[in-house]
A = this chain, B = another copy of it.
Amino acid sequence: MEIHYPNGKKFNQNELPKNRITHTGKNESYGNRGMTLEEDLNETNKYYRDRKIAVVHKKPTPIQIVQVDYPKRSAAVIKEAYFKLASTTDYNGVYKGKYIDFEAKETRNFTSFPLKNFHQHQISHMQAVIEQGGICFVILMFTKLKEVYFLEAKHLLGFWDRMKNGGRKSITKGEIEQNGYFIPLGFQPRIDYIKILDALNLC
């Protein structure tokens, strides 16, 4: 829980609008659309909420606060804090009474999705959600190809186990195509993952 990001990666504050600062490396815009995967999913979730289709939110980035100043007549200012590794996935909510839970990740690769995008806490959380009867999946984006896939967490867990048993450290794109579902990028909603849940009769 106390492992800190980033691993020596440089970050230029001026390159990004302030509201795009996160610790999960999702900030790189993909293609020339000028949008991040996170922004697309936030818009998608807002679309679902506004139309009462589903209630899904991104969880706030977990922060360890160390020092807070309370200036007179103005807002409290956090003066020292650190990013914490999330113990769960980033997104969860309710669709037709059922619990849904997912993580969204990007890669700039063309032919495979590195498993280092996930960490053990998230994998354990997905396993626990599945055991409790929740709907759990990942949204995987190949940013250079502008392709987004829906993959049920049970498949991700299988690939994770393969890695733990000495197998490859990524999922091939072919495996994702075979086990997952292509989500066409749309306008409204942008990443219509609920349509996949409906098609799979998961809810």
Which A residues are closer than 8 A to B by beta carbons?
4-6, 8-11, 13, 18-19, 21, 23, 49, 52, 54-55, 57, 59-68, 70, 73, 75-84, 87-88, 92-101, 125, 128-129, 131-134
Task: Give A152 Cβ to nearest chain B Cβ, in Å.
Answer: 15
Determine if A68 and B13 form an interchain contact, defined as CB atoms under 8 angstroms apart: yes
Question: In chain B, what residue has the closest Cβ to A133?
Answer: B97
Residues of B contacting A129 with CB < 8 Å?
55, 94
Question: In chain B, what residue has the closest Cβ to A49?
Answer: B128
Determine if B76 and A13 form an interchain contact, defined as CB atoms under 8 angstroms apart: no
Determine if B82 and A81 form an interchain contact, defined as CB atoms under 8 angstroms apart: no
Task: Give A81 Cβ to nearest chain B Cβ, in Å.
Answer: 4
Determine if B83 and A80 form an interchain contact, defined as CB atoms under 8 angstroms apart: no
The 7 A-B pairs at the shortest CB distance, nearest first, are namely A97-B133, A4-B75, A94-B99, A94-B134, A60-B62, A78-B81, A99-B99
Instruction: Among B8, B76, B84, B99, point to the contact of A93 (Cβ < 8 A).
Output: B99
